[in-house]
Structure 1
Amino acid sequence: MIQQITVLHFSPTGGTRRAALLLAKSIAEQVREIDLTQQQISVYHFEADDVVLAAAPVYGGRLPVFLTERLHACCGGGARAVAAAVYGGRAYEDALLEMSDLLAAQNFRVIASAALLAEHSIFHPLAAGRPDAQDAAQLAAFGARIADKLTAGEVTPPSVPGAHPYKSWGGMAAVPLAAGTCTACGLCARQCPAQAIPSETPRETDAARCIRCMRCVSQCPHQARVLPAEVSAMLGKKLSPLLEERKENELYL
């Protein structure tokens, strides 16, 4: 193991953070977290001796645009980096390549990459309970290999799947809505990374700002933020065939 790694994570519903920390804790003795999901983000500067793991969820085969903007505030300074794209069991398509490209553009040296599984943020039966014990064992072994590469001073970037130009994805048209059980407590407004929920009127959602990350849905203590029923039903029908197959993490060194 190396001494310390910094984990940059954009994890609206928590799955990306869990997967990233599993991997990070097998690479380094100490793990420092920087949560890019927060509304207020500072500029972060790294140096060549630093090691960073950057992790983000996959939306429609791409990284969230919101995340790419926040990573622009991270100055790599030649730090060595692990790129991670976390997806819910459908496909990660160009997201891992996009993450690697983005880190390289910010002057990080990408020495390992991983497409990791976490429970789907909308259709929860897909990749349910992931990352699980089997994932933990796999990532522990991969983390040890990353640590060995770092200790040896190797900085050769891995080749990862994906294509240029990246696939186009415009996102879902629907946004989470407030159900009748909403108490207007305002927690969703405080937690929304895109500030798409007005604090004065938290039953509303600004569709132009909403990034469909499902954070408000996962954070609501009354389960009062939901997607329209017809949208949830459509996604369930589309994704249900994927339940027959257990997908595995894809690891690149």
Structure 2
Amino acid sequence: MVYKLLFSPTGGTAAVANALTDGQIVDLTDRSRDFSAVALTAEDVAVIAVPSYAGRVPKTAAARLAEVQGGGARAVLVCVYGNRAYEDTLVELADLAEAAGFRAAAGIAALAEHSIARTYAAGRPDAADKAELHTFWEKIEAKLRAGDDTAPALPGNRPYKPLAVHSMVPHTAKRCIDCGRCAAACPVGAIDATDPRRTDADLCIGCMRCVALCPVQARQIDPDALAALTARLAPLCAGHKENELFL
């Protein structure tokens, strides 16, 4: 059985994982789920896919993955980034997966539209990316069929870079219709279910899920803050970066 353990608040990471293969989804953004009840076996394969937040695994994803019982399943480790860099995300994900009982079989660094500054890697994964990811999966399957237990050599550093994510907390415009969709979907419960105009800035992880899901575009980032971020990222996100496979 193939399982896809996904932390994908805005859909980019899920798009990459779905281009790789089908499988039973374990949604790591679901704050109501008991992840300790998720148990795999050595016969299973897990695609563990997370976005890179400032070069690290999102803390929420790390905590929920730690609850899963890997059971010796082979793991394909996927980090998805918005055209800046993924830095230590893959090696941290490998360590988290090993601690949860998984055996790393492959690693992938893939591109998806930046979740905040959406002009960067816009439209990715595109058709060419998806075809390439499908080819990656065929190579991974060949390795698994051959019984090759070699762990992939992954780029990154231990100790990891300091976790210095400064969350950009979306605000709510007057056109909010109080549908509550954002509060129900927030991975960390930062939005007040009784008053979705209120967001707990201390809980918010800046994942932008509420922005992506709002049916009337009432959840927004401060325009000046967004413009400053976009300008700061410009020299770092220039050019067309390629997907990478590590076997």
Q: TM-score range by the shorter chain?
A: over 0.9
Which of 98, 105, 108 matches 2:92?
Answer: 98
Kindly provide the CA deviation profile for residues 21-48 of structure 1, in whole angstroms up to 9, marking residues without a partner as x: 11124xxxxx211111112122211111
Distance 1:231 1:75 in 2: 40
Instruction: Note closer, same or farther for the CA distance 1:115–1:173 as it changes in structure 2 (3 Å cut).
Output: closer
Distance 1:157 1:243 in 2: 30
RMSD: 1.2
What residue is the counterpart of 1:35 in the other structure? 27
What residue is the counterpart of 2:205 in the other structure? 211
Instruction: Note closer, same or farther for the CA distance 1:174–1:119 as it changes in structure 2 (3 Å cut).
Output: closer
Is contact 1:88-1:119 (8 Å) kept?
yes
Moved over 6 A (4+): none
Distance 1:145 1:173 in 2: 37
**SS across alignment from 2:235:** helix
- 1:122, distance to aligned residue in structure 2 (A): 0.7
Q: Does 1:67 align with 2:61?
A: yes
Distance 2:65 2:163 in 1: 20
**SS across alignment from 1:75:** coil
Q: How does 1:104-183 map to 2 (within 5 A)?
A: 104-183=98-177
What residue is the counterpart of 2:5 in the other structure? 8
- TM-score, normalising length from structure 1? 0.94
Q: Which runs of 5+ in 2 are unaligned?
A: none
- TM-score, normalising length from structure 2? 0.96
Distance 1:216 1:222 in 2: 11
Is contact 1:123-1:236 (8 Å) kept?
yes
**SS across alignment from 1:54:** strand
**SS across alignment from 1:127:** coil
Kindly provide the CA deviation profile for residues 164-186 of structure 1, in whole angstroms up to 9, marking residues without a partner as x: 11111332253111012112221
Is contact 2:80-2:110 (8 Å) kept?
yes
Is contact 2:106-2:140 (8 Å) kept?
yes
Count of matched residue positions in the alignment of Structure 1 and Structure 2: 245
Is contact 1:41-1:70 (8 Å) kept?
no
Q: Which runs of 5+ in 1 are unaligned?
A: 26-30
Letter of the structure 1 residue corresponding to residue 27 of structure 2: D
Is contact 1:125-1:243 (8 Å) kept?
no
Which of 208, 224, 246 matches 2:240?
Answer: 246
- 1:244, distance to aligned residue in structure 2 (A): 3.9
